[in-house]
Amino acid sequence: MTALSNDYPDTDYLIIGAGSMGLATADWLARHSDASVQLLDAFSPPHEHGAHHGETRLLRQAYGEGSSYVPLARRALKLWRELEQESGETLFLPTGVVNVGPPGAPFIDQVEASARQHGLALDSLPGDQVSSRWPGWALDEAMHGCFEPEAGVLYVERILACWRERVEQNPQIALATGAQVIRLEAGEQGGWVAVCADGRRFGAGRVLLSSGQHVAPLMAGLGVDLPLTRVRKTFAWYACDARYAQDHFPGFSLTTPSGAIYYGFPDIDGAGFKIGRHDSGQPLVPGEAMAPFGEHEDDVRELQQVVDRYFPGVGALRSGAVCQYIRTSDEHFLIDEPLPGLIVAGGFSGHGFKFASALGEALGLWLDQGRRLPELALFALARLSDQGVAL
């Protein structure tokens, strides 16, 4: 343990932000390290103030965001299945995922390229055959579909609750809730100190900063500018008929002819048909309140127009919600150590949660052993100043 000072508790590792990445890392450390760990969260996870609520996330391996993600996705699926077996909870629902879009759309092309490169099962079929196979779709031959049978849906909040329970059973790990970190300081004798709004201070020799919208402001206080932006996003649940039951309809991504990107889920446990838009959204500064669903004129319209066009068995809007994306300029993750002993992990919103099991392992190894896995080189800060980097 690094001795930092005498006026606050010191631990080996400090994790700021007990959301998906923070809890995943703590869970890995709880099982693979004897180090003392302090987690801090401004609220009490799982909660609705980060980017990990909304109950469900898609899990895909034939990856449209880049084939370099595929090994990480495969490792994540293995770890999700292990967590499910160890916990006795249903954490993954194997619905399959169909990616739909115009032939030649970059996302669809990349899905097929990822599958070819890594030998993944993927059924490619024209839009009218998608509609025949799943009558909940209204498509013609002008659209194209790629179905990944081994993909499915993760139960996000169950996973977070599972991780929290396991972490809290370990006497070497402490979770402080209601701990809003407002400043980071260098320790007088090394390491780092987190200063909370209520005056509490926590020190550690090594730190993981994974606090979503607060990562960039906290690093700016140390003179490090990170290219992270915050965006308000919406999603909603609709009444639907039996065509969208979880046993009959897959999760999906949809690229429209105009290039807009949507994602969605079957009716899981009676919640209704769920859909959201991946691109677009309203920029926000860190800490700015998000307007409730329906307060922006596009909130309902941008979802309803897609429901009306492509999903004939979906009916009335049941409820809508808002969430936030934290993004980099290229929408790939940001994982690096910009200052010695201070690892940052951010920019995950939109497609990060599915990797949390594998990233928790990778971040745990980096904190505990100083070993940066080769897979994380994709997400280094330096790439954002380079041009033409293909992930």
The one catalytic residue among 11, 25, 52, 56:
56
Residues 6+ apart with CB under 8 A from 18: 26, 39, 40, 41, 45, 164, 175, 177
Between CA 84 and CA 76 the distance in angstroms is 12
Note the Cα 248 to chain centre separation in Å. 26
Measure the CA–CA gap between 167 and 25, rounded to whole angstroms.
10
Strands (E), 144-265: 144-148, 152-155, 173-176, 181-186, 192-196, 201-209, 229-240, 251-255, 261-265
pLDDT computed for residue 47 by the predictor = 59
Check 57, 75, 158, 166 and give the catalytic one: 57
332 is catalytic: no
Residue-wise pLDDT for 222-268, tens only, equals: 999 999 999 999 999 999 999 999 999 999 999 999 999 999 999 99
Q: What pLDDT is recorded for position 386?
A: 54
Give me the catalytic one of 166, 214, 232, 354. 354
SS3 236: strand
SS3 state at 106? helix
Q: How far apart are CA 248 and CA 79, in angstroms?
A: 26
DSSP state of 319: E
Amino acid identity for residue 277 in this structure? R
pTM: 0.93
Q: Which of 144, 166, 243, 278 is catalytic?
A: 278
- Among residues 230, 232, 323, 332, which one is catalytic? 323
Which residues partner with 267 through β-bridges? Answer: 245
Whether 56 is a known active-site residue: answer yes
Please give the structure tokens belonging to residue 51.
Answer: 């980017």
Report DSSP state, residue 169: T
Tell me if residue 47 is catalytic.
Answer: no
Domains of the chain, residue spans:
10-51+157-225+331-385, 97-149+229-327
Model pLDDT, residue 63: 92
Considering the segment(s) 97-149+229-327 as one domain, its CATH architecture is: 2-Layer Sandwich (3.30)
Strand 201-209 relative to strand 342-346: parallel, antiparallel, unpaired?
Answer: parallel
Is 351 an annotated catalytic residue?
no
Q: Please state which of the four CATH numbers 3.90.850.10, 3.40.190.290, 3.30.413.10, 3.50.50.60 is assigned to the domain occupying 10-51+157-225+331-385.
A: 3.50.50.60
- 354 is an active site residue: yes
Question: 3-state class of 276 per DSSP?
Answer: strand
Choose the catalytic residue: 75, 164, 243, 274.
274
Distance, C-alpha 297 to centroid of its chain: 27
342: β partners: 207, 339
What pLDDT was estimated at residue 52? 55
Look at residue 26 in the predicted model and tell me its pLDDT.
98
Reading phi first (left if > 0) and then psi (alpha if -120 to 50, else beta), residue 313 is in alpha
pLDDT digit of tens for each residue in the chain (391 aa)?
A: 344 444 666 899 999 999 999 999 999 999 999 999 999 999 877 656 666 556 899 999 999 899 999 999 999 999 999 999 999 999 999 999 999 999 999 999 999 999 999 999 999 999 999 999 999 999 999 999 999 999 999 999 999 999 999 999 999 999 999 999 999 999 988 999 999 999 999 999 999 999 999 999 999 999 999 999 999 999 999 999 999 999 999 999 999 999 999 999 999 999 999 999 999 899 999 989 999 999 998 999 999 999 999 999 999 999 999 999 999 999 999 999 999 999 999 999 878 999 999 999 999 999 999 999 999 999 999 998 754 333 3
Amino acid identity of residue 379, one-letter, is F
Answer yes or no: 318 catalytic: no
SS3 314: strand
Check residue 4 and give its pLDDT.
Answer: 43
State the Cα–Cα distance between residues 146 and 86, nearest whole angstrom.
32
Q: What is the pLDDT of residue 54?
A: 65
Same CATH fold assignment for domains 10-51+157-225+331-385 and 97-149+229-327: no
Q: Residue for token digits 């293909």?
A: 390
- Per annotation, catalytic residue among 47, 49, 53, 372: 53
Cis peptide before 46 (omega within 30 of 0): yes
| 274 a catalytic residue | yes
